[in-house]
Structure 1
Amino acid sequence: MNSQTITAAASGTWKLGDLTVNRLGFGAMRLPQTGEALVADAVPRDRDQAISVLRRAVELGVNHIDTAAFYFSALRSANELINRALAPYPEDLVITTKVGQPRDPSGAWLPHATPEQLRGLVEENLRQLGRDHLDVVNLRIVGTDSIAERFGALAELREAGLIRHLGLSNVTSAHLAEARTIAPVVCVQNMYGLGVRPDQDAFVHSCGEQGVAFVPFYAIAASGRQAGAGDGDHPEILAVAQAHGVGPAQVRIAWTLHRGPHVLAIPGTGNPDHLASNVAAGALRLTEADLTLLDSLHSQKL
């Protein structure tokens, strides 16, 4: 499989409301820094490299980019890198962002935003991205408390035209049910992947039944999370990768896409070669034997 010639179109498409995206997208979390992300002492990435990766992603057919105003290092902001690299934006490009728990300028996490504070966070994303509206905004939460007031505040901004579609991040099925009584939900973004959170399987399936996209994060990094994927992987994942002539990260991406047509992938990287490999994973068709083996590993919670 020649990863340099495969585009994101090979992954198929899904609609976020009225916005059609290729199922293989791009996550911007790792763009502002090298090494571990979302930490106060993150090492800024070379600006030209980050911009070139974003432009190459679009050249490879990526039309769904996931970002947030709290994706930043001391010198770099993911939103502003996206603005610099891609504005004026292609008509088919969908930018999804998230709000909920901001970070202060030093990178330290602040308390969750109140309903009244969410408008300021939405406007911050608008300013950084240079947009007059946001395509999709996810409410990101931590915990199991009711989200009605916070999601309702975003629903009001949607009615005002600042947001086109709404989603949720880091939530439960109860949160989704609660949110859908307030406004339409086009996507759920939770931690999930091969061997990561098998307890989410039923929720992933339920989202598909409701026509809601499920967008896993840390699908490649697994236990590495913000630090990224480790050097090794499970021997049986490596065996599947070898059989297809691909890397283990591509197997992990392909496995998530095989979980249902509503599952989208947003692998992130600052490396142009890794970008091409990630996009090419959208064309990887795992066999029934591959899936049986990998599903068994998944249930063991690697």
Structure 2
Amino acid sequence: MATNATLGGTFDLGGELTVHRMGYGAMQLAGPGVWGPPRDREAAVAVLREAVERGVNHLDTSDFYGPHTVNTLIREALHPYPEGLRIVTKVGARRTPDKGWSPALSAEELTAAVHDNLRHLGVDALDVVNLRLAGENAEYPVPGSLAEPFGVLADLRQQGLIRHLGVSHVTAEQFDEARSIAPVVCVQNEYNLAHRGADALVDRCAAEGIAFVPYFPLGGFSPLQSGVLDDCARRVGATPMQVALAWLLQRSPTTLLIPGTSSVAHLRENLAAADLVLPGDVLADLDGIGTH
């Protein structure tokens, strides 16, 4: 497997699954609205193969992307999988005919989802499965206990169908509850330069050796915040997206990134962000974005 520079260094998920800190999120490989096949299937396959060729060994996916489309693409493009490639998936939602996202957290739904992921990816066990918590309209966080659904996944882990477990869209309390049931190797929550609500959770994960996997790395900026980001990007000779990704990597040593794209050119741009070192004055200005 060729390597694109350092890809941000490595991290051991669960102490045993070594991945580069710059990964790839496959959601955008589905059609518009994360529904149906991609506009260009050959291009989607090319992006996956390019990512792996450049050293990416952490793919984030779900069988409800499409639904089923993205996992089928991953299998088509990459199976038999290269040694060391880690595929992280998530369960807890289902797609409705109106292209909505509804909770699917019953024991039957979660068990079926795990088996769907196994079948469509073509593997005997899933490296990591995240339990996704969200409401009927994909709103989050959702208050309440996750003990019942997380317990279902813990049982499937005991059966050998899942190697490691993670959580997504969770509060600090739900994170603690999950860890009281089974080991948690990663947390996947929204977090970026402009939205720092998960600051304390990022720090906890770093202190305890648990991966924090932020999504939506560039979004929700006010005009003032965007102006600061654009200025910082000019000063380091990079794009705003590259700076936002580099800031996340420097924010915490246990941060793993999964930026998504359906373009090979954009993929290469994202991967290059892993080697962008932000100087102290730029970091200070970026850190101030969250206070504007």
Report the TM-score, using the length of structure 2 for normalisation: 0.91
7, 11, 20: which one aligns with 2:8: 11
Shift of residue 253, structure 1, vs aligned partner: 0.4
In structure 2, relative to structure 1, the CA distance for the partners of 1:105 and 1:45 (3 Å cut) is same
Kept in 2, the 8 Å contact 1:8–1:23? The answer is no
Equivalent position SS for 1:9: coil
| Counterpart check, 1:218 vs 2:212 | no
282, 286, 289: which one aligns with 1:290: 282
Could you say which residue in structure 1 is the equivalent of 2:92?
A: 100
Kept in 1, the 8 Å contact 2:7–2:55? The answer is no
Q: Deviations over 1:103-138 (max 9, x none)?
A: 146633334321232110000111110111100000
Larger RCO (CA under 8 A, 6+ residues apart): 1
Could you say which residue in structure 2 is the equivalent of 1:68?
A: 62
In structure 2, relative to structure 1, the CA distance for the partners of 1:172 and 1:21 (3 Å cut) is same
Give the alignment of 1:1-150 within 5 angstroms. 7=4, 9-17=6-14, 18-34=16-32, 37-38=33-34, 44-72=38-66, 77-104=69-96, 107-142=99-134, 143-150=142-149
Kept in 1, the 8 Å contact 2:194–2:225? The answer is no
Shift of residue 6, structure 1, vs aligned partner: 7.7
Could you say which residue in structure 2 is the equivalent of 1:227?
A: none
- The runs of 5 or more residues in structure 2 that have no matched partner are 135-141
Task: Give the AA of the match of 1:51.
Answer: V
Could you say which residue in structure 1 is the equivalent of 2:139?
A: none
Kept in 1, the 8 Å contact 2:191–2:197? The answer is no
- The runs of 5 or more residues in structure 1 that have no matched partner are 225-229
In structure 2, relative to structure 1, the CA distance for the partners of 1:94 and 1:8 (3 Å cut) is farther
Could you say which residue in structure 1 is the equivalent of 2:198?
A: 200
Task: Give the AA of the match of 1:123.
Answer: H
Shift of residue 145, structure 1, vs aligned partner: 1.1
| Counterpart check, 1:242 vs 2:234 | yes
Task: Give the AA of the match of 1:178.
Answer: E
Matches of 2:5 and 2:41 in 1, distance apart? Answer: 24
Matches of 2:60 and 2:104 in 1, distance apart? Answer: 20
Equivalent position SS for 1:167: strand
Shift of residue 43, structure 1, vs aligned partner: 7.7
Shift of residue 9, structure 1, vs aligned partner: 2.5
Matches of 1:55 and 1:138 in 2, distance apart? Answer: 24
Task: Give the AA of the match of 1:9.
Answer: T
Q: Deviations over 1:50-86 (max 9, x none)?
A: 000000000111000000011117xx71111100000
Matches of 1:259 and 1:122 in 2, distance apart? Answer: 33
Matches of 1:155 and 1:97 in 2, distance apart? Answer: 15
Matches of 1:183 and 1:256 in 2, distance apart? Answer: 27
Q: Deviations over 1:211-260 (max 9, x none)?
A: 1100000113x139xxxxx9x98122112212222111000100111111
Matches of 1:6 and 1:163 in 2, distance apart? Answer: 27
Matches of 1:8 and 1:65 in 2, distance apart? Answer: 18
Instruction: Give the root-mean-square deviation of aligned CA atoms.
Output: 2.2
Could you say which residue in structure 2 is the equivalent of 1:188?
A: 187
Matches of 1:152 and 1:9 in 2, distance apart? Answer: 37
Kept in 2, the 8 Å contact 1:8–1:24? The answer is no
Task: Give the AA of the match of 2:154.
Answer: A
Percent identical among aligned pairs is 48
Shift of residue 205, structure 1, vs aligned partner: 0.5
- Residues paired across the two proteins, number: 283
Q: Deviations over 1:265-287 (max 9, x none)?
A: 10000011100010010000001
